[in-house]
Amino acid sequence: MTAPILTTPRLRIPRIGLGTWALRGAEAQRAVESAIGLSYRHIDTAAMYGNEDAVGAGIAACGLPRSEIFLTTKVWWTELAPDALRASAEASLKRLGTPYADLVLIHWPSKGMDLAASLGALAMLQADGLARAVGVSNFPPGLLKRALDLGIAPIAALQVECHVYLWQEQLAALCRQHGLALTAYSPIAKARVNDDPVLQGIAAKHGATPVQVALAWLLAQENLVAIPKSGRPEGQRDNLAAAALRLDAADLAAIAALPKDRRLVNPDFAPDWAA
């Protein structure tokens, strides 16, 4: 089984990818090799994860042409001045062992960032062939709208925390309006979905797992991509199989009734989410 492909005006991206946050060293490399062996074609990493060398080694070991893997990496919020952003991206590519990334994102906004300058540096990465597409992550609605309105970088994607307990409609609406892919990180709410009686009931009805139900709900949303992390082949296989699960109207209504304001990732450098 392979993940379905989302096609937008600026990129083609598999709708289920492998998140690699917290995977390190040999574990990260094994996870990437396993996922690709199971037909994953989308791998997500970041400079801050400290695993780009292992992710790159896993991709290289799979033996597939580089063009068959969609690879995302990200520039940390302390490196957003143009020269620093460029240097960070180049260092990421060196660690990954690839001449380009399919998507390079600003990982988090900085409170003191020069937005126009940072977007200009992103645009240059794409113009120079270091990134096939560029985008942002963890931008609140107001900041994302400012970035889009500036028109400096051809923003193709937004990556944010998104799951059955956190649906960000303002951001989703901006992504729909501008043709952006919306990538959901922490898509199974750090495994909290496993203990949810609503999801357990829906899972039992379909012969699935609560994790698969949570992922299927995300994939039922427009322009949405999910990047669940799993270092185990069994978990990776189950996550990929969620793409084939079709929830009915009753399922969707039950999930819609769950609270949608449970943010699980909120570091001290996070932006004002309401801005």
Q: Pick the closest to residue 90 from 120, 152, 47 (CA basis).
A: 47
What does the alpha-carbon distance between residue 162 and residue 184 come to, in Å, rounded to a whole number? 5
Tokens 């699980």, residue located:
264
- Mean of pLDDT values over 52-66: 97
How buried is residue 105: exposed, middle or buried, by Cβ count under 10 Å (0-12/13-18/19+)?
A: buried
- Mean of pLDDT values over 264-272: 97
Tokens 């096609």, residue located:
7
Confidence of residue 225 (pLDDT cuts 50, 70, 90): very high
The pLDDT of residue 275 is above 90: no
Residue 102 has what pLDDT? Answer: 98
Q: Pick the closest to residue 169 from 123, 98, 223, 248 (CA basis).
A: 223
Measured over the CA atoms of residue 115, residue 120, residue 126 and residue 128, the dihedral's sign is negative
How far from 246 is each of 162, 202, 217, 251, CA to CA, in Å?
Answer: 19, 11, 9, 9
Residue 145 has what pLDDT? Answer: 98
Tokens 């302390």, residue located:
78
Which DSSP string do the residues of 138-167 spell out, in sequence order?
S--HHHHHHHHHHT-S-EEEEEEE-BTTB-
Catalytic (active-site) positions = 49
**DSSP three-state, residue 261:** strand
- For residue 195, count other CB atoms closer than 10 A to its CB: 9
State in Å, rounded, how far the first CA of the chain is from the last one: 40
CB within 8 Å of 83: residues ≥ 6 apart: 121
Half-sphere exposure of 251 (CA within 13 A, CB side): 22
Token reading at 62 = 């799979």
Phi, psi of 79 (to 5 degrees): -120, 35
pTM: 0.97
| pLDDT tens for each residue of 137-175 | 999 999 999 999 999 999 999 999 999 999 999 999 999
The pLDDT of residue 105 is above 90: yes
Average pLDDT of the chain, as a whole number: 97
Residue 238 has what pLDDT? Answer: 97
**DSSP three-state, residue 270:** coil
2: left (phi over 0), alpha (psi -120 to 50) or beta: beta
